[in-house]
């Protein structure tokens, strides 16, 4: 009879031992044992998950989500296409400034862009005079078609950023080709920085005007939509600003060698 009782109790005892083996922390806590992590109220796994979550949030905070709004959906707020055109125009103007004013090699075509201010208005030099290369060291500008603009053309050549020292012989302007010195290269690099800063100022004005226009459209539009449009405008400006920096870095490398 006793053997029968033992055979019936054996499964219950085994189950009890298994439960104690699986939950040692619970069993020890009942007899007043010190917790393994006295300074925190969470288990090791929970603490690890919490740390990982905070780390992920911190990483996400430094990375702003990209916005890509369909311009047709916000036409009643602002024309994003026009804003993009205005910002792109700033970048194009910078490229033109680099091409016209920061050329190391002097050639007849390098003088075409020089603007001459006359009593009748402003005109490119190549519309007032015939430019030709007399020799590798000398450029000639024949002003016989507009002799009255000779003085103004000479002044424009001197005031250009090309380090020119023109000489006048009647209606002929002689322009010696300057030697490309290290100092001249460094001066051109400084000028490139000025052009880049000017482009960024223009870009900021475009962005500010676009944001101001967006804010004026708050009535009739949700605050979330207004914020999204503002974020899109800022994102567009940031992209152009990066392109400006790339243009400046490439030009500086070209100038300094």
pLDDT digits (tens, 9 = 90+) for 40-75: 444 444 444 444 455 455 454 445 567 777 777 778
Half-sphere exposure of 21 (CA within 13 A, CB side): 6
d(CA 195, CA 93): 9
Cβ-Cβ contacts under 8 Å for 198 (sequence gap 6 or more) = 94
CB 91 within 8 A of CB 247: yes
pLDDT digits (tens, 9 = 90+) for 193-208: 999 999 999 999 999 9
* Architecture of the domain made up of 108-176: 2-Layer Sandwich (3.30)
Q: What are phi and psi of 163, to 5 degrees?
A: 60, 45
Residue 41, pLDDT score: 47
Q: Alpha carbon 34 to chain centroid distance? A: 57
pTM: 0.60
Question: CATH 3.30.1360.40 occupies which residues in the chain?
Answer: 108-176
d(CA 146, CA 143): 5
pLDDT digits (tens, 9 = 90+) for 12-41: 544 554 455 444 444 444 434 444 444 444
- For domain 71-102+181-256, the question of CATH label 3.40.50.1820 is answered with no
Half-sphere exposure of 76 (CA within 13 A, CB side): 9
Question: CATH 1.10.132.20 occupies which residues in the chain?
Answer: 71-102+181-256
């Amino acid at each position: 009879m006793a053997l029968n009782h033992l055979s019936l109790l054996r499964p219950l005892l085994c189950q009890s031992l298994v439960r104690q083996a699986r939950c040692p922390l619970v069993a020890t806590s009942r007899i007043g044992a010190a917790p393994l992590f006295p300074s925190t109220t969470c288990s090791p796994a929970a603490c690890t998950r919490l740390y990982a979550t905070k780390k992920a949030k911190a990483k996400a905070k430094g990375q702003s989500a990209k916005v890509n709004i369909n311009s047709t959906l916000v036409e009643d707020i602002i024309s994003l296409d026009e804003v993009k055109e205005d910002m792109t125009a700033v970048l194009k103007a910078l490229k033109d400034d680099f091409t016209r004013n920061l050329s190391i090699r002097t050639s007849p075509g390098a003088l075409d862009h020089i603007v001459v201010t006359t009593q009748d208005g402003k005109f490119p030099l190549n519309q007032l005079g015939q430019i030709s290369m007399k020799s590798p060291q000398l450029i000639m500008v024949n002003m016989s078609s507009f002799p009255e603009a000779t003085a103004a053309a000479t002044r424009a050549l001197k005031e250009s950023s090309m380090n020119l020292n023109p000489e006048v012989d009647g209606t002929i302007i002689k322009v010696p080709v300057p030697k490309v010195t290290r100092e001249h290269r460094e001066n051109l690099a400084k000028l490139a920085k000025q052009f880049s800063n000017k482009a960024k100022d223009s870009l900021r004005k475009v962005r500010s005007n676009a944001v101001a226009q967006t804010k004026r459209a708050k009535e009739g539009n949700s605050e979330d939509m207004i914020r999204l449009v503002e974020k899109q405008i800022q994102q567009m400006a940031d992209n152009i600003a990066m392109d400006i920096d790339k243009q400046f870095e490439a030009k500086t490398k070209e100038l300094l060698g």
